[in-house]
Amino acid sequence: MPKLTLYHIAPSRSSIVHWMLEEVGQPYDIHLLSMNRGENRAPEYLAVNPMGKVPALKHGGVVITEAAAICAYLADEFPQAGLNVPIGDPRRGVYLKWLFFGPSCVEPAMTDRAFPRKEEARRAMLGYGDFDTVMDVVAKAVAPGPYLIGERFTAADVIVGATLRWGMMFKLIPERPEFTAYTARLAARPALQRSEAKDKELAAA
Ligand SMILES: N[C@@H](CCC(=O)N[C@@H](CS)C(=O)NCC(=O)O)C(=O)O
């Protein structure tokens, strides 16, 4: 099988893919980078991801960047892990919507709130509309549980769940009961626990 290598800074957005890799259950290597030493901006890494950002995943000769794209890729590449929703399944549309909603709506809504613009943007111009609507929509989606598409955990939960966990940790989003109940269910997953424990070791090394 082609080798899987995660380019990782522990902890960071590449921790999302670290969690996903633990869910997938295939062997992988970690290529650890240090942001403090500027290794993500060094020519060797810019040859992997010209954005100078983690995560990046190498799978054999293929390089994939962007956390949500990597999670979607892994879910499709290793369907035996049961983390994707295949073409033809009526739940696939909703699955894809949440995979994209994480990085295109939840994350920018959070970061724009943390770093407000000098001049307020028009709601219609912002892809996510406004912060409160994004939060209401996500809260309504995770409330019934246990997961975004119902009983089955998917790559979309890794993306949306990791973003909510990160947002609450940094106090960028309110600790709504729907969010805390959903992220508590995610925190009970052994794969997330393993990736977090490994990240702590890597950060301390
Ligand atoms: N859109 C990217 C964002 C990746 C990103 O911003 N990663 C941060 C770590 S949390 C990074 O590499 N920052 C280093 C830098 O920009 O110099 C994704 O979703 O994968």
Which pLDDT tens digit goes with each residue over 155-196? Answer: 999 999 999 999 999 999 999 999 999 999 999 999 999 999
Mean pLDDT of all residues belonging to the chain: 97
Specify the pTM. Answer: 0.98
Residue 145 confidence (pLDDT) above 90: yes
Which pLDDT tens digit goes with each residue over 55-76? Answer: 999 999 999 999 999 999 999 9
Contact 14, 33 (CB under 8 A): no
Nearest-atom index, ligand 1, CA of 68: 19
> For ligand 1, which residues put their CB under 6 angstroms from it?
12-13, 35, 40, 52-55, 66-67, 103
**Which residue, judged by its Cα, is nearest atom 6 of ligand 1?**
53
User: With 0-12 CB in 10 A as exposed, 13-18 as middle and 19+ as buried, what is 190?
Assistant: exposed
Q: Look-up: residue for tokens 């997330």? A: 192
How far, in Å, is the centroid of ligand 1 from the Cα of 53?
4
How far, in Å, is the centroid of ligand 1 from the Cα of 50?
12
Question: Looking at residue 205, what is its pLDDT?
Answer: 85
Mean pLDDT of 25-37: 98
Residue 120 confidence (pLDDT) above 90: no
**Which residue, judged by its Cα, is nearest atom 15 of ligand 1?**
53
